[in-house]
Amino acid sequence: MPKDKKPSAAYSAEQITVLEGLEPVRKRPGMYIGSTGETGLHHLVWEVVDNAIDEAMAGFANLVQVWIRPDGKVSVRDNGRGIPVDKHKVTKKSALETVLTKLHAGGKFEGQAYKVSGGLHGVGVSVVNALSTHLRAEVRRDGQIYSQEYKTGKPTGAVKKLGRIPPKDSFQQGTEITFFPDASVFETTEFKLKTILEHLRQQAYLTAGTQVQVTDERVGLTFSYYFEGGIVSYIKQLNRHKVVKHEPMYVNKSVESMQVEVAVQYTDDYAETLLSFANNIYTPEGGMHVTGFRTALTRSINKYAAKNGYTKEAEKLTSDDMREGLSAIISVKLPNPQFEGQTKGKLGNPEVRTAVESVLGEALETFLEEHPKDTARILEKVILASKARLAAKAARESVIRKGVLEGLALPGKLADCSESDPSKCELYIVEGDSAGGSAKQGRDRRFQAILPLRGKILNVERARLDKMLANNEIKNLIIALGCGIGEQFDIGKLRYHRVIIMTDADVDGAHIRTLLLTFFYRHFPDIIKSGFLYIAQPPLYKLSSGGRTQYVYSDAEKDKLMQEWQKAGPKPKGKSRKSGKTKVVEEGELITVIEESAIGSASEEPAAGREPEAGVKGINIQRYKGLGEMNPGQLWETTMDPKSRQMLRVEVSDFELVNDVFETLMGDEVAPRKKFIHTHARTVKNLDI
C-alpha cells in the first residue's frame, strides 16, 4: 500500500473560481457528458475519478479507490488534500458546496491549486451532482471529517463537521464522493465492471506510482493496479504478443510549464499502435503532440540513416514509412489544454508541438547513437516499409487506372443503385454469387447496391498494402467504395453511407465477416468512426404453424415464440407477423462481433424441412444457414427492407482492447489465439459444429 502524502501547498477557498450557474445541465445533459446512454453514465465515474487523478498528478495523492455498490451507487475516494470547506469570498458559501453546485467552479483555472488537470475544468463534479438523485461528499482534512449531501444538485443542508478522524482510520486525508445516477435522465443506470476496469487501468499506467483500486460489491471482487514503470509498462503490455525489435525507448522531461513523456518500441507487426494523451485524457484524433512526435521521429531517423549510409540523400524516408510496426505512447501534461470539441478528441495547443518535437528529437538522437544494434533493426524495418510503400503506390495507381478505363472505377460485379446522394445509398457486401443473385433481385434498386464476393478475402492483418491490392476481391471492394485507400483516402468521396456486411449464418460466413471487419478496421477506420459500417442480421429461423409464419433472429426469440404459439393453440389469432422486428437496430461493438465470429456462429439447430422438435406439435422450424436458401422476396422482407430489418452498427469503444483482439485472433502467433479459443469456447451461445 502506498504511504499517505501530506499537503505541501496552499489549497483553500482562495483557489476556487466561479464562472456560471448549474441549471442548464439537467435540461441538456448530452452537452456535458456526451449522451444519456451507457457512455454518458460511465462518464460520471470518469469525471469524479479525474479529480482524484488530478490530485495524484499534482503530487498530493497516490491512492484512488472506486466502489460499485449493490444499490447502484458509486463511491470514489482519494488520499489527496481534500476539497476545501472554508467559505468562498464570492458565493459566501463553503468551497465544497461551490464546487458541487456551480459550473466552472474549481481549483483549475488560476493555476494555483493545480498546474495540470484532466477534469472538465471545474465542470465535472458539479455535472455529476446535477445528474444524480443523491450525492454525498465527505472531506477529511486538518484532522477533521466534514460532509454534505445533495439531491438532484441541490444541498439538503450546510456542510456538517462530524468530528475528528480516528487515529487508526486508514482514511486520514482526502475526498470521497458517493453518487446515485438519476434513472429519469439515463437510459440505463447499470455500471459495467469491465468498462470501469479498462478505463482505470489506463489511468494507472499514465500516473506512475499511483495505486488504483476498484471494488465491485455486487460480485465481491476487488482489483488493484499499480505500475511503477508507467507508460513503459503500458507499451510492454500492448506488445506482449508481438516480436519486438528492441527495449522501449523512454523519455520524460519538462519544458517550461509542460511535461513530455514518450515511450517508443518497434515490432514485427505491420500496423501502427499509437496512443496519445493530454493530462491523462485520451486524444483519439491526435493533435499537436502527435504532430510534434511524427516530425521528430521522421527527422531523427532520416538524419541517422543518411549519416551512416543506410539511405542516400534523395531517398528520404517518409512519416508513413516510420509507422509500420511502430508502437508509441505520448503523454503530455500542460496547464491550459485546448481541446477541440466537447469530447476532447484532439489537442490544439501549438506550443505542445514544439515541446514534444524538441524533447523527443534530442532523446531519439541519443538512443540511435548509443544503441547501434537496435537502430539497425529499426532501420531495416523502416526501409523495408519504404520499399513496400513504393510497391503499394504502383499497385494503387494500377487499381485506379484500371477502374477509370472500366468506367468510373466500378467493378463489373457491382450492381449499383440509381441514387447519387451518398447519404441515401447503401452497399451490401454479400458472400457468394448465389446470395448475391438473390440480393440483386430482392433489393430496392433506387438506393441499394450489391457487391458479391467470391470466397474468403485475404487476411489483411498479415499482408502489406501492395500484396493486398493484388487480391481481386479486395480491389473490387476498394473501387466500389470510391474513397481511395492509404494516403489517397478521402471519406468525403465514399459513395455509400451505409456499408453493410451480409454473410451466411455459419462458420464460413462468420470467418468472412471477420476478415472484412479486419479489412475495414485496419485500412478504413474512418468509415467505422463515422458510423457507416453495419452488419446485416438475417433471420436464423422461419417458424410455421397452422397458417402462421414468422421469422425470428435468435434462439431465445424462437423458444419464446414457440411457447406463445403452444399456449395460443393450433389456430392463428389475428394476422400473421412477417417479421419479429420492425426497426433497424443500429448499435454494436466491433470487439463483440470479432470474438463471437472467432469462436463460432450459428447454433446446432434443425436444418430446413426437419420435423418439429420433440414436444412441439404442429410447429415447423426451418433453419437458415445460407442467404441463398431464401428467395429474393424473403431476403428483402427479412434482411433488406428498412421497415423491418435488423442491423448492427459497428463501433469501437476501446482502441487498445480491439487492437489486442485483432492481433490475437488474426495475427501470426498461434499460441495466443489457441489460448483465447480454449478460454472462451465454453461460453459461446451459438456454435456451428
315-360 pLDDT tens trace: 789 998 999 999 999 999 998 888 875 556 889 999 999 999 999 9
Enclosing domain of residue 343: 231-388
Give the pLDDT band of residue 73 (cuts 50, 70, 90): very high
pLDDT of residue 305: 93
Domain boundary among 166, 192, 225: 225
Q: State yes or no: pLDDT of 149 exceeds 70.
A: yes
Whether residue 91 lies inside any domain: the answer is yes
508 against 682, higher pLDDT: 508
C-alpha cell at 172: 486520514
pLDDT of residue 574: 42
C-alpha cell at 508: 464460413
Mean pLDDT is lowest, of 29-38, 326-335, 360-369, for 29-38
Among this protein's residues, is 526 annotated catalytic?
no
Q: State yes or no: pLDDT of 218 exceeds 50.
A: yes
pLDDT of residue 8: 52
CATH number at residue 677: 3.40.50.670
Q: Which among 176, 269, 431, 473 is annotated as catalytic?
A: 431
Residue among 144, 79, 81, 91 nearest 112 (CA): 81
Give the pLDDT band of residue 654 (cuts 50, 70, 90): low
Q: Which among 461, 504, 557, 663 is annotated as catalytic?
A: 504
pLDDT of residue 585: 47
Report the range out of 9-13, 288-292, 317-321, 433-437 with the highest average pLDDT: 288-292
Q: State yes or no: pLDDT of 408 exceeds 60.
A: no
136 against 343, higher pLDDT: 136
pLDDT of residue 522: 85
C-alpha cell at 308: 551512416
Residue where the block lists cell 463537521: 161
- For the segment 626-636, the average pLDDT, to the nearest whole number, is 85
Residue among 456, 455, 447, 405 nearest 428 (CA): 447
Residue where the block lists cell 468521396: 493
Give the pLDDT band of residue 68 (cuts 50, 70, 90): very high
Contacts of 650 (CB under 8 A, 6+ apart): 517, 520, 528, 533, 534, 535, 588, 589, 590, 593
Residues constituting the chain = 689
Whether residue 292 lies inside any domain: the answer is yes
pLDDT of residue 165: 95
- For the segment 485-491, the average pLDDT, to the nearest whole number, is 83
Mean of per-residue pLDDT scores for the chain: 83
Q: How far apart are CA 388 and CA 327, in angstroms?
A: 19
Give the pLDDT band of residue 158 (cuts 50, 70, 90): very high
Contacts of 126 (CB under 8 A, 6+ apart): 22, 25, 99, 100, 101, 102, 103, 105, 153
414 touches 476 (CB < 8 A): yes
Mean pLDDT is lowest, of 576-585, 601-610, 676-685, for 601-610
Q: State yes or no: pLDDT of 529 exceeds 90.
A: no
- For the segment 302-310, the average pLDDT, to the nearest whole number, is 92
**Number of independent structural domains in the chain:** 3
- For the segment 425-448, the average pLDDT, to the nearest whole number, is 90
Among this protein's residues, is 421 annotated catalytic?
no
CATH number at residue 31: 3.30.565.10
Whether residue 543 lies inside any domain: the answer is no
If asked whether residues 163 and 44 sit together in one domain, one would say: yes
List pLDDT tens digits, range 659-684.
Answer: 667 666 776 666 766 766 666 565 55
434 against 150, higher pLDDT: 150
If asked whether residues 263 and 176 sit together in one domain, one would say: no
Give the pLDDT band of residue 124 (cuts 50, 70, 90): confident
- For the segment 202-217, the average pLDDT, to the nearest whole number, is 96
- For the segment 229-237, the average pLDDT, to the nearest whole number, is 95
pLDDT of residue 656: 65
Domain boundary among 225, 260, 285: 225
If asked whether residues 166 and 197 sit together in one domain, one would say: yes
If asked whether residues 641 and 676 sit together in one domain, one would say: yes
Whether residue 615 lies inside any domain: the answer is no
Report the share of the chain in percent with pLDDT over 70: 79
Mean pLDDT is lowest, of 203-212, 356-365, 401-410, 509-518, for 401-410
If asked whether residues 166 and 119 sit together in one domain, one would say: yes
Q: Burial level of 451, CB count in 10 A (0-12/13-18/19+)?
A: buried
If asked whether residues 78 and 175 sit together in one domain, one would say: yes
C-alpha cell at 383: 526501409
Q: State yes or no: pLDDT of 604 exceeds 80.
A: no
Among this protein's residues, is 508 annotated catalytic?
yes
Whether residue 235 lies inside any domain: the answer is yes
Give the pLDDT band of residue 33 (cuts 50, 70, 90): confident
If asked whether residues 252 and 176 sit together in one domain, one would say: no
246 against 463, higher pLDDT: 246
Whether residue 1 lies inside any domain: the answer is no
- For the segment 413-428, the average pLDDT, to the nearest whole number, is 93
- For the segment 145-164, the average pLDDT, to the nearest whole number, is 95
SS (H, E, C) 191-238: CCHHHHHHHHHHHHHHCCCCEEEEEECCCCEEEEECCCCCHHHHHHHH
- For the segment 159-171, the average pLDDT, to the nearest whole number, is 94
If asked whether residues 102 and 221 sit together in one domain, one would say: yes
Residue among 101, 78, 310, 105 nearest 173 (CA): 78
DSSP letters along 364-385, please? HHHHHHH-HHHHHHHHHHHHHH
CATH number at residue 318: 3.30.230.10
Q: How far apart are CA 193 and CA 71, in angstroms?
A: 15
Whether residue 611 lies inside any domain: the answer is no
Contacts of 428 (CB under 8 A, 6+ apart): 439, 443, 448, 449, 450, 451, 500, 502, 536, 640
> At 618, is the secondary structure helix, strand, or coil?
coil
Neighbours of 617 (CB within 10 A): 10
With b for 16 or more beta-carbon neighbours within 10 A and e for fewer, the 255-281 pattern comes to: beebbbbbbbbbbebbbebbbbbbbbb
If asked whether residues 238 and 325 sit together in one domain, one would say: yes
Q: Which among 506, 586, 596, 641 is annotated as catalytic?
A: 506
Q: State yes or no: pLDDT of 72 exceeds 80.
A: yes
Q: Which among 268, 508, 605, 641 is annotated as catalytic?
A: 508
If asked whether residues 638 and 687 sit together in one domain, one would say: yes
Among this protein's residues, is 431 annotated catalytic?
yes
Domain boundary among 159, 190, 225: 225
451 touches 427 (CB < 8 A): yes
CA distances from 233 to 238, 264, 299, 653 (A): 9, 12, 27, 22
If asked whether residues 328 and 475 sit together in one domain, one would say: no
pLDDT of residue 582: 34
If asked whether residues 221 and 270 sit together in one domain, one would say: no
Mean pLDDT is lowest, of 283-287, 449-453, 555-559, for 555-559
Whether residue 7 lies inside any domain: the answer is no
pLDDT of residue 463: 77
- For the segment 240-260, the average pLDDT, to the nearest whole number, is 93
Does this model's pTM top 0.95? My answer is no
pLDDT of residue 313: 67
With b for 16 or more beta-carbon neighbours within 10 A and e for fewer, the 467-483 pattern comes to: bbbebebbbbbbbbbbb
Q: Hey, which bits of 312-461 come out as E strands?
A: 326-333, 339-340, 346-347, 426-431, 448-453
